[in-house]
Amino acid sequence: MRQTMKSNLRVCRLTLAALLVGAVSAQANLVVEIGDGQAAIAPGVGTTTASFDIVFHNPMASGFDFSGYTLFLDIGPAGLGLPAGVSFAADPAVYLTGEGTAPLIGAGKNGTKNLTPAAGDIALGQAQFGFNGTIDAGESFTVIRINLDVDRSLATPGEHDLFLSPSAMSIFTNTAAESLPFTSTGGTLTLTAVPEPSALLYGGLAVALAGLWKCLRVLLGDAKHTFCGQPHFMMR
């Protein structure tokens, strides 16, 4: 009986150890976190903007050293093509730490600049960093901000995925030009419909008129039974 219990405990310990190793190994990569962007749209009311950030996060127990990277990013459906009414701003990508290469933006849509990347909507690369290419354990850096223009007359409400393109090889490399492992998490671009200002004005006016009419009905109803401030009863 004791031997059986010891055997079971040993199996449990081994299982727990395996689970812990699996959990650690699952996080043993740099994580590219793509943030969220949002814009409020109303038909026929000019252009607005939306932005989202890309963060490098190191969940490992040791530092992550790299010499450069190239990322291929999709906005909306996979492959070339942005959501309706969405285009890249005049300054489509801002490197928030260090110097980066001019972004390559896919052809065939508004905001076309430079060359066409292998896949996705925009290609980004960087080899000079404000943090010297080392991200310490548990540390994060916001490295890029993507800027978009949204034409309210063309855009439609909805949510659009932001993710690294599956059809192009985004890559991190070290000084020996070797590929380094990393994972990524996606974000969401949310376009939200809002009433036009005129609709809000008319709606508020309607509420005010309804309230005024209710007050008038109450006053008129009281007036039928009051004369000069005193109750008045009609003779039958």
**What is the number of domains present in the chain?**
2
CB within 8 A of 179, min separation 6: which ones? 171, 172, 173
Residues 163 and 206 in one domain: no
* Surface-to-core class of residue 220, CB atoms within 10 Å of its CB (0-12 exposed, 13-18 middle, 19+ buried): exposed
Residue 92 neighbours by CB under 8 Å, 6+ apart: 103, 105, 111, 113, 122, 146, 147, 148
Cα 178 from chain centroid (whole Å): 31
| 108 in the same domain as 157 | yes
CATH label of the domain that carries residue 91: 2.60.40.680
Name 45's Cβ contacts closer than 8 Å, sequence gap at least 6.
152, 153, 196
Give the pLDDT score at 9: 40
Of residues 142 and 108, more confidence is placed in 142
Q: Are 172 and 69 in contact (CB under 8 A)?
A: yes
Regarding whether 94 and 111 lie in a shared domain, the answer is: yes
The per-residue pLDDT for range 10-69, each reduced to its tens digit, is 434 433 333 333 333 445 699 999 999 999 998 777 999 999 999 999 999 999 999 999
Whole domain around residue 213: which residue ranges? 197-227
Residues facing 124 on adjacent strands: 71
- Collapsing DSSP states into helix, strand and coil, what is residue 207? helix
At 183-195, the pLDDT tens digits run 999 999 999 998 7
Instruction: Specify whether 55 is located in the same domain as 161.
Output: yes
Indicate the range of 135-149, 169-183, 189-203 predicted with least confidence.
189-203
